[in-house]
């Protein structure tokens, strides 16, 4: 999602190809020879291929003019990268129990486990400390880390799980950004 949003924020023309991960198409040629990690998303630009959403976002921000995807201030930029890495490497119980199927297809009726509830509390604590009282974005103005944080929060919100109101308002606001709406409103194949 964040690579798609980054491409749109930079106003770059691109072609999107889908990969059937369930059929393990990411391990078959030609994708496996294009993506050295065999992961999606993978960006191919002028013969250079790059996987991992945050690496793609950083590359696009460095190579192409236009909207900045990261804050200009070095400490805020570093913090944005920290947030992205943390959201992708931690909070596994939330990702397992509230997959993106909850966000893009349907809710689950299973309550959060104690472990997922603990991860949610950690998420809420970090998000509340990162968001200033008067800002609708993490660092005073929008950046690509807002996409990732909103997605993690929406795994819970869109399933009907309890989320602090301030964080729910933040995630709802992020979901209204045109580039994010383009991703959210895409036609998806049935499960």
pLDDT digits (tens, 9 = 90+) for 64-118: 999 999 999 999 999 999 999 999 999 999 999 999 999 999 999 999 999 999 9
Closest CA to 51 of 59, 63, 43: 43
pLDDT score of 132:
83
Biggest alpha carbon–alpha carbon distance for the chain: 49
Tokens at residue 27, please? 């391990």
Alpha carbons 7 and 183: distance in angstroms, whole number: 11
- 138-153 burial code (b ≥16 CB/10 A, e <16): bbeebbbbbbbbbbbb
| Domain ranges (residues) in the chain | 2-63, 74-181
CA-to-CA separations, 117 to 98, 148, 163, 191, in angstroms, rounded: 11, 19, 11, 27
**Which conformational region is residue 112 in: left (phi greater than 0), alpha (psi within -120 to 50 degrees), or beta?**
beta
Topology classification of domain 2-63? Glutaredoxin (3.40.30)
Residue 57 contacts residue 6 (beta carbons within 8 Å): yes
pLDDT above 90: residue 190: no
Instruction: Quick: pLDDT tens for 12-41.
Output: 999 999 888 889 999 998 898 899 999 999
Question: In the block, which residue shows the tokens 């308002």?
Answer: 169
CATH number for the segment(s) 74-181: 1.20.1050.10
pLDDT score of 155:
97
Alpha carbons 182 and 124: distance in angstroms, whole number: 26
Mean pLDDT of 59-67: 96
pLDDT score of 71:
96
pLDDT score of 22:
86
How far out from the chain centre does Cα 88 lie?
9
């Amino acid at each position: 999602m964040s690579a798609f949003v980054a491409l749109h924020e930079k106003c770059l023309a691109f072609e999107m190809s889908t990969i059937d991960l369930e059929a393990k198409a990411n391990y078959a040629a030609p994708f496996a020879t294009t993506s050295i990690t065999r992961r999606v998303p993978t960006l191919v630009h002028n013969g250079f291929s790059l996987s991992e959403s945050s690496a793609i976002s950083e590359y696009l921000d460095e190579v192409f003019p236009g909207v900045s995807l990261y804050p200009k201030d070095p400490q805020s930029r570093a913090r944005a990268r920290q947030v992205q890495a943390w959201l992708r490497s931690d909070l596994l119980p939330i990702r397992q129990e509230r997959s993106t199927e909850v966000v893009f297809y349907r809710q689950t009726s299973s309550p959060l486990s104690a472990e997922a509830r603990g991860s949610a509390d950690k998420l809420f604590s970090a998000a509340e400390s990162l968001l200033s009282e008067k800002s609708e974005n993490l660092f005073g103005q929008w950046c690509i880390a807002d996409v990732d944080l909103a997605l993690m929060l929406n795994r819970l919100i869109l399933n009907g799980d309890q989320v602090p109101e301030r964080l729910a308002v933040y995630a709802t606001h992020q979901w209204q950004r045109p580039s994010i709406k383009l991703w959210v409103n895409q036609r998806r194949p049935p499960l």
